[in-house]
Amino acid sequence: MSKLDKVLERIDQNLDQSLDRLFELLRIKSISTDPEYKGDCRTAAEWMARELTAIGIPSEVRDTTGHPMVVGHRVADGKPGPHVLFYGHYDVQPVDPIELWNADPFDPQIVTREDGSKMIVARGANDDKGQLMTFVEAVRAWIEESGDLPINISVLLEGEEESGSPSLQPFLDANKEELSKDLALVCDTSMWDKDTPAISVMLRGLVGEEITLKGPSKDLHSGMYGGAARNPLHVLSDMIAGLRDENGRITLPGFYDGVLELPEDVKEMWQNLGFSTEEFLGGIGLKDLGGEKGRSGLEQLWARPTCEVNGMWGGYTGAGFKTVIPAEAHAKVSFRLVGDQDPGKIREAFHAYLKSKTPADFELELHPHGGDRALRMDFDAPALAKGRAALTAEWDKPAALVGCGGSIPIVGSFKRTLDMDSLLIGFGLDEDQIHSPNEKYELKSFHKGIRSWARVLEELAK
Ligand code: BES
Ligand code: ZN
């Protein structure tokens, strides 16, 4: 029996204990956006550092101006292959609306379906505690079984990913040398479907902005003032409506600069994935594609930029009716970016547009939120081929090279600040309801995810 086979066997035998440890982590309420859970975030960081140290990666909790980082290293001279930096995040999204959960989000449950398949239900079951623990458990199995790891490994765990990673850039700047390795391994993305593993080779970027529009000096009676006094909610709605034309294209000047057409080989690869728009939209109670006309569903999701209103409020929204003209209107708007779109230029164009639409006697306040470029991995990178070989061996199906509509800002920072490429392997499914009530992770994802990383570590050493 090869070393790897023994490691895989140990993973199978110890699955229950691996689950127990994941459940311990899932019980910690590490919601990074809500100051009330600051202590829980630290508890999660301490738990991770303790766990990593116990399995043989000496790790410590490092303070930042926000939630702490966890950093660890296990390095020996003369190891083959790249020295990798594994990245994951121990923070989770808030749980609201809590009434839609079938159980306490921080009391993880195994739910068995009629067909016998099982899922882990809890906040963070997938994003990102379940995912990051697949790697940790693979490392544990390697060290326990063989006394060592095939390659040198460092670990960086973050506690602010779900709140825009404010401390990350200063931390990378201050610890460049320590963190700059040959390759980053990131476990925060999805599989193609429940049987088909995937490596994400494109990530969309993000530009967010909160808008406050102030009009009259106070809320007004719409009978006394309506008609004569301009309504901030109307002005804001007009601004937002004007951002997209009838073909679903964004109207900001220069917005499409740097948006690249998909290379033919990628187009073909994606066509062969057999994506069904009907099924995808059917799963969320919809029928018609909402993005740019003339673009396929996958293109709209992975390779085209968007503009979304994430929230819009103002005036009276309570029970009953109040005939009011509000003094203020608010919105949170974000753009997903692709190709070489420049987040700075897009923000500038957006600001200029909003200013041009602001009436002279109104006041416009803008609060930027995040700004990251899209990313495209090098398709010919040796690590990509090795990762693919390892996944293909575990799942008996070729690993798909997919896009990711979401954003993982750290991947850009790794490239820019540390000159380090990333390999994005994750075992989540689109239907895992990350960020939503009843978030889940397939037990199969967790189990085979651990086995997959065990294989990737060996493959990278070759
Ligand atoms: N794990 C997600 C990224 C992701 C989303 C992967 C969808 C696969 C499918 C990550 O935690 C996330 O939610 N990122 C945010 C980033 C933002 C807060 C800067 C996102 O994409 O909205
Ligand atoms: Zn995540």
* Tokens 């309801």, located at residue: 433
Q: How confident is the model at residue 201 (pLDDT cuts 50, 70, 90)?
A: very high
CA–centroid distance, residue 152 to ligand 2 (Å): 25
Beta strand 421-425 pairing with 183-186: parallel
Closest approach atom of ligand 1 to CA 407: 21
Beta strand 198-203 pairing with 400-404: parallel
Q: Which neighbouring-strand residues pair with 118?
A: 112
> pLDDT above 90 covers what percent of the chain?
94
Q: Pick the closest to residue 165 from 23, 50, 67 (CA basis).
A: 67
Q: Which ligand is nearest the CA of 411, by number?
A: 1
Rounded Cα distance, 416 and 453, in Å: 26
Closest approach atom of ligand 1 to CA 190: 8
pLDDT at 265: 84
pLDDT at 163: 87
Q: Pick the closest to residue 280 from 297, 268, 264, 295 (CA basis).
A: 297
What phi and psi, each to the nearest 5 degrees, are found at residue 411? -60, -40
Residue-wise pLDDT for 322-381, tens only, equals 999 999 999 999 999 999 999 999 999 999 999 999 999 999 999 998 888 999 988 889
Rounded Cα distance, 80 and 64, in Å: 33
What phi and psi, each to the nearest 5 degrees, are found at residue 104? -55, 125
Please, are residues 154 and 398 in contact by the beta-carbon 8 Å criterion? no
Please, are residues 123 and 26 in contact by the beta-carbon 8 Å criterion? yes
* Tokens 């738990």, located at residue: 47
pLDDT at 164: 82
Rounded Cα distance, 69 and 50, in Å: 13
Residue-wise pLDDT for 82-139, tens only, equals 999 999 999 999 999 999 999 999 999 999 999 999 999 999 999 999 999 999 999 9
- Hey, CA dihedral for 134, 140, 146, 148, is it positive or negative? positive
Q: Which ligand is nearest the CA of 429, by number?
A: 1
Number of C-beta neighbours around residue 311 at 10 A = 10
Angle between helices 129-146 and 38-55 (to 10 degrees): 20
Rounded Cα distance, 404 and 298, in Å: 10
Asked whether the bond before 97 is cis by omega within 30 degrees of 0, the reply is yes
**Is the pLDDT at 158 greater than 90, yes or no?**
yes
- Burial label, 270 (beta-carbon count in 10 A; 0-12, 13-18, 19+): buried
Asked whether the bond before 128 is cis by omega within 30 degrees of 0, the reply is yes
Q: Is 131 in the pocket of ligand 1 (CB under 6 A)?
A: no
Mean pLDDT score, 310-319: 97
Tokens of 437: 């009530």
* Tokens 């940790």, located at residue: 136
CB proximity list for 8: less than 8 A, separation 6 or greater? 141, 451, 454, 455
Q: Is 91 in the pocket of ligand 1 (CB under 6 A)?
A: no
Please, are residues 79 and 86 in contact by the beta-carbon 8 Å criterion? no
pLDDT at 95: 97
Mean pLDDT score, 311-330: 97
Number of C-beta neighbours around residue 260 at 10 A = 13
Q: Which ligand is nearest the CA of 435, by number?
A: 1
Mean pLDDT score, 165-193: 96
Tokens of 246: 């009838």
* Tokens 């033919």, located at residue: 264
**Is the pLDDT at 258 greater than 90, yes or no?**
yes
Please, are residues 201 and 190 in contact by the beta-carbon 8 Å criterion? no
pLDDT at 239: 98
SS3 of residue 58 by DSSP = coil
What residues flank ion ligand 2 with Cβ within 5 A? 127-128, 188
Residue bearing the CA closest to ligand 1, atom 4: 406
pLDDT at 371: 86
Residue bearing the CA closest to ligand 1, atom 5: 406
Q: Pick the closest to residue 66 from 171, 142, 150, 147 (CA basis).
A: 171
Q: Is 168 in the pocket of ligand 1 (CB under 6 A)?
A: no
Residue-wise pLDDT for 22-71, tens only, equals 999 999 999 999 999 999 999 999 999 999 999 999 999 999 999 999 99
Q: Residue 139 to residues 132, 293, 331: CA-CA distances in angstroms?
A: 11, 46, 44
Tokens of 37: 């859970």
Please, are residues 135 and 86 in contact by the beta-carbon 8 Å criterion? yes
Number of C-beta neighbours around residue 21 at 10 A = 17
Tokens of 58: 């000496």
- DSSP class of residue 98? G
**Is the pLDDT at 409 greater than 90, yes or no?**
no
User: For 242-395, where are the alpha helices, taking DSSP H only?
Assistant: 264-271, 277-282, 297-302, 343-356, 382-395
Rounded Cα distance, 91 and 131, in Å: 12
Rounded Cα distance, 149 and 161, in Å: 28
Question: What is the DSSP code string of 284-302?
Answer: TT--S--SSTT--HHHHHH
Candidate from 207-216, 248-257, 275-284 with smallest mean pLDDT: 275-284
Q: Pick the closest to residue 423 from 411, 434, 413 (CA basis).
A: 411
Candidate from 110-119, 159-168, 201-210, 354-363 with smallest mean pLDDT: 159-168
Residue bearing the CA closest to ligand 1, atom 7: 406
